[in-house]
Amino acid sequence: MKFTDGRWRMRPGVHPAYAHEVLDVDLGLGTLTVYAPAYHVRDRVDLQQGPVFTVDFSAPMPDVIGVSVTHFAGEVTRPPRFELLAEATPQDAVLAGGPDAAVLTSGALSARVRRDGGWQVDFLAGDRVLTTSGPEDLAFITTDAGEHHVRERLSLGLGAAVYGLGERFGPLVRNGQSVDIWNADGGTCSEQAYKNVPFCLTNAGYGVFVDHPGNVSFEVASEDVTKIQFSAETQALRYFLIYGPTPKEILRKYTALTGRPALPPAWSFGLWLSTSWNTSYDEQTVTEFVDGMAERDLPLSVFHFDCFWMREISWCDFEWDPRTFPDPRGMLARLKAKGLKVCVWINPYIAQRSPLFAEGKAHGYLLTRPNGDVWQWDLWQPGMAVVDFTNPDAREWYASKLDALLDMGVDCFKSDFGERIPTDVRYFDGSDPELMHNYYTYLYNRTVFELLRKRRGDGEAVVFARSATVGSQQFPVHWGGDNSSTYESMAESLRGGLSLCMSGFGFWSHDIGGFEGTPTAALFKRWVPFGLLSSHSRLHGNRSYRVPWLFDEEAVEVLRRFTKLKIGLMPYLYQAARVAHLQGIPMMRAMVVEFPDDPACTYLDRQYLLGDDLLVAPVFTADGAVDYYVPPGVWTHLLTGQRVSGPGWVRETHGFDSVPLLVRPGAVVPFGAAEDRPGYDYADRVTLQAYEIADDATVTTVIPTVAGEVACTFQTRREGPVVRVWADHPPMGWRFLLVGIESVVSVAGGTAARHEHGTLIHAHGPELIIRLPEE
């Protein structure tokens, strides 16, 4: 929200009061409280009026400082509030006071408040100033319409770029953008977003999290091109300054504060196939699709039933449409006998035709208007109402309907919608409707996810959710919403996913081929590698099916190639998933997350890192032309073994069965032995593929189990021409591939053979000692 009319004037009807100077400072037990009048104090008479800013500094965890700004403290605090996992404790803060400044230090981060002269708060890492709130930055702003906003501005240094704020589909760098944190069902081609998160990170060593569940307005180098500005209509506002210094460290600390994602089950990383939405389907259609995939040797993990598994204008009644699915329990058993998991579509809305409407109304489980009427409208479903998830009984009631589906054989849910939540309503627990608009999705998806975790156990719960807010990352997976069947939409989907993954989310997916429209065969075949080289992979559309043989036979071959490639990469991918779960580092990473000191990576949004070591550059053209950037070092094409030296830009042309997929120099990438399913014994006959191991380097490779534990850990050590490889719990039949090395002088502990990409060594025991030719 913009308040100014250029540098010198305010907009009509806007009245600011700025923190002018520090009057007094209280040093508490681990807290620092500053009182700052909005005017220069000449004598005591001036203090008989306000406003005075009360600014509290605290330390919820090392390297994080909380800043609470309050005008009138008498405002009633109403739920909801974000559920933070760390609160301020005295031992996390070090306080220092003097005549010139008061300082609160948390780990390596300090907030230094100037006591003499005008308002200034410097946030420092050691002696380096990260950002500053200076004169006329902190403000209370009132309007002629009766609004009261708390606004803060923090300086942006030269070259500082801002990222995140949820899943946003425009340019990856937020500088120059106005962003309102307000969930909306706007597709992937607009400034609206399904997943709004009031958290951003920078390449300047810090991130900012605004702890306000309602509408937060960000002006990122827009209203003032040297500032990041945020404001909310409230009497009090808290934000956290999070020090990295790297983007990965910022994400680690942000997710330690707001929650880290659960580990999705291994089977969820396989290929999902959907009925699509507005298509015609019944059990025969489903069977033809599933059998067609098997006949064409296309490994399928999950079959998804979209909206019309239920009868029209009844969403949701959670009852199978008897006209198209007369024997749902038997059908699900037949699908599961084929090794498939089953997902069904749900949302938090109850159509008037649904028997659940009368039931929910009678028990007070639906949102009501202030006069007590059930809130209804005709958009999406006739007479649609909304479940009130602030009511514990309503949550239990809703979950019980899903529980019956689990008993029937359903494994997971696509928890769609949750964005268009009205504000002219009354909640069971008295929640503020404006604050609940964004927060609603958290309660909705938590209800679904906790049921799955309760019934299936840790490591087996997964949803396919569209809406999200702060903390929703704990309930994976999220997909990008309604994209379109164009190359442009394919690219905007990637931008949205990278933005979400820079907002604390570990896992992300998208509709392969696009949702709106029908992709050309060329577009479908280009989208498939991108889809299978995302954390989760789903074929889904609106009015047309997404089985590959409807495009052409080559589409079948391309889908087979990349589905099997992903399955083979599961030892690597599931360890990357464990990192997301344990550390909050996303599987899909914008280049700047991994290479923050490389200025060429600052704006890159058409390529990404998948885990630590794989660079993916999707092809966004029909003719296969693609440009991508390679960071320093010798990178290797995973599919061909061809080497590419960086830093620099590369232009290539790829067939439909190929995509730029490069391995980072110094990496050891584990490949599994299976190609028919994503969940298997990853250590059994694993092949470690080594790329450009530097002299005097040691590389650790963790092989996980499908349960998310550690099966074994390999170490690869190079000293001159000698490469040593060993494991703590070596599996049977493991192999080691030296990529790009055509021969070796000797091998102790195994036998060597020529391989198309180098030299393959079959290990006979727990250790290999390999002597390479002298360079």
Active site residues: 416, 419, 482
- Separation CA 195–CA 197 (nearest Å): 6
- Separation CA 563–CA 657 (nearest Å): 12
Q: What count of residues does the chain have?
A: 775
Task: Kindly give the residue spans of alpha helices, DSSP state H, lying in 637-703.
Answer: none
- Separation CA 36–CA 19 (nearest Å): 6
Q: What are phi and psi of 650, to 5 degrees?
A: -125, 135
| SS3 of residue 318 by DSSP | coil
Q: Is residue 154 a contact partner of residue 131, using CB atoms and an 8 Å limit? A: yes
| SS3 of residue 8 by DSSP | coil
- Measured at the alpha carbon of residue 694, what is the angle toward residues 688 and 700, in degrees to the nearest 5? 45
Task: Write a three-state SS string for 578-624.
Answer: HHHHHHCCCCEEEHHHHCCCCHHHCCCCCCEEECCCEEECCCCCCCC
The closest of 124, 137, 121, 148 to 219, measured between CA atoms, is 137
Task: Write a three-state SS string for 382-442.
Answer: CCEEEECCCCHHHHHHHHHHHHHHHHHCCCEEEECCCCCCCCCCECCCCCCHHHHHHHHHH
Decide: residue 389, CB within 10 A, 0-12 exposed, 13-18 middle, 19+ buried.
buried
Label residues 612-641 b or e (16+ Cβ within 10 Å = b). Answer: ebbbbbbbbeeebebebbbbebbbbbbbeb
The closest of 253, 169, 176, 167 to 207, measured between CA atoms, is 253
Identify the DSSP state of 47.
Answer: G
Q: Is residue 768 a contact partner of residue 747, using CB atoms and an 8 Å limit? A: yes
